[in-house]
Amino acid sequence: MVQGQSDPFRVRVRGELACFTRPEMKVERVSYEVMTPSAGRGILEAILWKPAIAWRIHAIEVLAPIRWTSFRRNEVQSRASERAGEIVADEDRTQRNTVALRDVDYVVQASFAMTPRAGAGDNVAKYVDMFLRRLQKGQHHHAPCLGCREFAAVVEPAPERTVTIDQADRPLGWMFFDFDWPSFHGGEAPADGRVRPLFFNARLKQGVLLVPDRDTVRAEAAGSS
């Protein structure tokens, strides 16, 4: 265990439907082929998020074959906010085609690091125990989901041995990594408008998506701009 950082956890995440939406698709909602690092972080934060820790996704193991399904569903176009006022769903509803994944099964490899917001009584061992206890009991702050709130995720400790899909090394293209801001320590994005999306060149290697660290993705984004 590195000082200020936990050892990696392996967490199994599965569900009947998932949609990790590609941002370049404007009309239809189309999923990436594999869970994004941002979605993985969101699932772990649903189990345990504190200002004192920040999650980092290291890898996503794909256990189930990549299968697709498509359907149409009603979506509300506006986003609720105090500024927007009341939204009348019947007047603000639109039908949208969704191309989603079905019967997904992943193992998320992740760890957390202590942040500058940690207090005197905060330490790695405290939050490791807290996370493992909540994971074992199926507790969460809010319901974990697979890209969309209505696509529920089953989250549980990963078995010691898992078998990934038998798939040759192949590119997945540019994938959304996460939102980023100067003082990033996990949690919700600030409201000051200094948020930017980060992308990375994703690749599936023997059924595993290896995820670079945030500083590497930041550096590559700065070099390409």
Span 28-47, pLDDT tens digits? 899 999 999 999 999 999 99
**pLDDT category of residue 79 using cuts at 50, 70 and 90:** low
Structure tokens at 115: 């942040």
Interatomic CA distance for residues 187 and 182, integer angstroms: 13
**pLDDT category of residue 66 using cuts at 50, 70 and 90:** very high
Span 90-100, pLDDT tens digits? 555 677 899 99
- Helix crossing, 124-137 with 37-47: angle to 10°? 90
Q: What is the pTM of this model?
A: 0.88
Interatomic CA distance for residues 202 and 225, integer angstroms: 19
Residues 6+ apart with CB under 8 A from 183: 190
- Would you say 199 and 175 are in contact if contact means Cβ atoms under 8 Å apart? yes
Span 157-172, pLDDT tens digits? 999 999 999 877 899 9
Span 108-133, pLDDT tens digits? 999 999 999 899 999 999 999 999 99
Of 70-74, 77-81, 200-204, the range with the highest mean pLDDT is: 200-204
What's the alpha-carbon Rg for the chain, to the nearest Å?
A: 18
Tell me the average pLDDT across 57-79.
85
Residues 6+ apart with CB under 8 A from 90: none
The pLDDT of residue 1 is 52
Instruction: Give the dihedral sign, CA 218/61/39/76.
Output: positive
Domain ranges of the chain: 9-76+91-224
Q: Which residue has 């709130």 as its token pair?
A: 149
Q: Which residue has 């200094």 as its token pair?
A: 194
53 phi and psi angles, rounded to 5 deg: -130, 155
- Would you say 62 and 34 are in contact if contact means Cβ atoms under 8 Å apart? yes
- Residues 50-64: b if buried by 16+ CB within 10 A, e if exposed: bebbbbbbbbbbbbe
33: helix, strand or coil = coil
**pLDDT category of residue 89 using cuts at 50, 70 and 90:** very low
Structure tokens at 214: 């945030």
Q: Which of 13-17, 69-73, 152-156, 212-216 has the lowest mean pLDDT?
A: 69-73
- Would you say 135 and 47 are in contact if contact means Cβ atoms under 8 Å apart? yes
Whether 205 has a pLDDT exceeding 60, the answer reads yes
Tell me the average pLDDT across 57-65.
97
Interatomic CA distance for residues 48 and 186, integer angstroms: 11
Under CATH, which number does the domain 9-76+91-224 receive? 3.30.70.2660
The pLDDT of residue 87 is 41
The pLDDT of residue 199 is 97
Q: Strand locations in 49-169, DSSP E? A: 53-62, 68-76, 93-114, 145-146, 148-152, 154-157
